[in-house]
Amino acid sequence: MTDASTLPGRPRGGVLSGPATARAVNVLAPNPSAMTLDGTNTWILSEPDSDLAVVVDPGPLDDGHLRHVIGTAEQAGKRIALTLLTHGHPDHAEGAARFAELTGTKVRALDPALRLGDEGLAAGNVIRVGGLELRVVPTPGHTADSLCFHLPADRAVLTGDTILGRGTTVVAHPDGRLGDYLDTLRRLRSLTVDDGVHTVLPGHGPVLEDAQGAVEYYLAHRAHRLAQVETAVEDGYRTPSQVVAHVYADVDRSLWPAAELSVRAQLEYLQEHGII
């Protein structure tokens, strides 16, 4: 058995659903898969002494899950006052409109197509609800509209799909771009160094106790994969599918379609920088 303390980011063991920090509670959506891991993490955020809560990523359009999120908040004596989205992929955002209907909340997101209400989200925004403070961090790369939410009081960051609790994420080309993603990882590293963030509350998988270690692992992983793709091209593997079959030979074939998106992003990056 592998000791979790030796894994990248030090993933927390135990049940995923439930309290994660003083201000964050996870309600795990029932949508496990190779891409979503155990399912989507729907986060309920609130100051301990407040009766107002914020929900990040209601998840898929599953009425049972959405009502479970509401019930979890109500059992803690809290009313959901706002819904936020880290990005627009269906496993995070498909249920947002129905959730807004059930809770009477606005939905704030970077992408105007996902918003319900006048206000969107942008770099530098500070969201305050019932004493809770969240800072919006633009983190494009996985998708163009990806955001993270910095929770200073818990020295935590909610990362959506930008950093996962287990494994690594996909640069979802063409919407996602590798150059943007590398910049995002460096931005998150600065949060760990300059702002004292030590906990990652991911969109999938367990909580990570070592945010800086997770970011450093992701940066090293991306550099390694990029070098592998460059070498594969030099060795005559030209198409994205050929590169995937060569570089990702040790990865479950069911994940190859997602890997091909990242390879396309890597090839584009290498071309833009005149490397291939």
CA distance 70 to 78: 9
- Give the mean model confidence (pLDDT) for residues 87-110: 98
Q: What does the pLDDT average to over 193-200?
A: 98
Residue 245 lies in a domain: yes
* Residues identified as active-site: 91
Residue 5's pLDDT is what?
59
Tokens representing 103 are 């809770």
Q: CB-side exposure of 30: number of CA atoms within 13 Å?
A: 9
Say whether pLDDT at 2 is over 60. no
Asked if the structure places residue 228 within a domain, the reply is yes
- In eight-state DSSP terms, residue 33 is B
Of all residues in the chain, the percent with pLDDT exceeding 70 is: 98
In a domain, residue 201? The reply is yes
Q: pLDDT digits over 225-269, tens only? A: 999 999 999 999 989 999 999 999 988 999 999 999 999 999 999
- Helix, strand, coil shares of the chain as percentages rounded to 5? 35, 20, 40
**In CATH, what number is assigned to the domain containing residue 87?**
3.60.15.10
Q: How many domains does one find in the chain?
A: 1
209 inside domain = yes
Task: Decide if 229 is inside a domain.
Answer: yes
- The predicted pLDDT at position 195 comes to 97
Mean per-residue pLDDT over the chain, rounded? 96
Q: Is residue 8 part of a domain?
A: no
What integer pLDDT is reported at residue 203 of this predicted model?
Answer: 98
What is the structure's pLDDT at 118?
79
Q: What is the model's pLDDT at position 7? A: 82
The answer to whether the beta carbons of residues 209 and 9 sit under 8 Å apart is yes
Q: What is the DSSP letter of 22?
A: S
pLDDT for residue 3 is more than 60: no
For the stretch 6-34, pLDDT in tens is 689 999 998 899 999 999 999 999 999 99
H helical segments located in 2-150:
63-75, 90-93, 96-103
Q: Is the pLDDT of residue 212 over 70?
A: yes
Q: What is the mean pLDDT of residues 184-203?
A: 98
Residue 192 clears pLDDT 80, i.e. is over it: yes
CA-nearest of 115, 104, 100, 103 to 73 is 103
Has residue 252 been placed in a domain? yes
Instruction: Name the percent of the chain lying above pLDDT 90.
Output: 93
Q: Which pLDDT band, with edges at 50, 70 and 90, does 37 fall under? A: very high
Mean pLDDT of 155-161: 98
Residue 49: domain span = 18-273
Specify if 3 maps to a domain: no
